[in-house]
Amino acid sequence: MKAIFKSAVHIILINDNKILLQKRKGSKLWPGYYALPAGHIDEGETQYDALVREAKEELGIEINLNDIINNYVVLRRNFFEIDGKILEPYIDYYFEIKKYNGVPKIIEEDKCDELLWADVNNLPEPFINYEGVFLEDKTITTYDCLTDGAYVKKLIK
């Protein structure tokens, strides 16, 4: 049987050597945790379509695809349950962006409590573990998640 993966985009906005984080609220998973602005890729969308849409929907900013300075693809394989839900594997697309139009603000007040510019080397707690691991080491291409929720990095060359 062929594996089917859900996909998500993660937005790494950089400003004065800080990254923009959201404090999640009202979500099934990780409420109260800090995280990168992110969202699912909808059926029929490319990762680039989703990036532009999520930036507008969540932050009220416009992104030009020519302003992407780095992008990464990570296979996140999950082998554990959290809050009574078994997490499915994901293909995560991370995009680093320094230039955008508009001022980031909370658009989805039911999903976000706070926006915070943070030092990437001093992330606030609690922070979604797989995103924090990626921000520490952007050479990661695959994560395997153990039953305790700790991620094991795997590099595929």
pLDDT for the residue numbered 141: 85
**Tokens read off for 85:** 């839900």
In the chain the domains, ranked by start, together with CATH numbers, are: 6-154 (3.90.79.10)
Q: Which of 3, 2, 155 is nearest to 90 (CA)?
A: 3
Q: Which of 108, 16, 118 is nearest to 53 (CA)?
A: 108
Burial level of 105, CB count in 10 A (0-12/13-18/19+)? exposed
With a cut of 90, say whether residue 137 has pLDDT above it. Answer: no
With a cut of 90, say whether residue 30 has pLDDT above it. Answer: no
Q: Dump the DSSP string for 69-103.
A: EEEEEEEEEE--EETTEEPPPEEEEEEEES--BS-
Question: Is the backbone peptide bond immediately before 126 cis, with ω within 30 degrees of 0?
Answer: yes
**Chain segment 103-133, per-residue pLDDT in tens:** 999 999 999 999 999 999 999 999 988 888 8
With a cut of 60, say whether residue 155 has pLDDT above it. Answer: no
Burial level of 95, CB count in 10 A (0-12/13-18/19+)? buried
With a cut of 80, say whether residue 149 has pLDDT above it. Answer: no
Q: Which of 70, 63, 134 is nearest to 96 (CA)?
A: 70
pLDDT-based confidence at residue 1 (cuts at 50, 70, 90): low
**Chain segment 32-57, per-residue pLDDT in tens:** 999 999 999 999 999 999 999 999 99
- Using an 8 Å Cβ cutoff, are 137 and 68 in contact? no
pLDDT-based confidence at residue 25 (cuts at 50, 70, 90): very high
Q: Average pLDDT over the chain, rounded to whole?
A: 87
- pTM value is 0.88
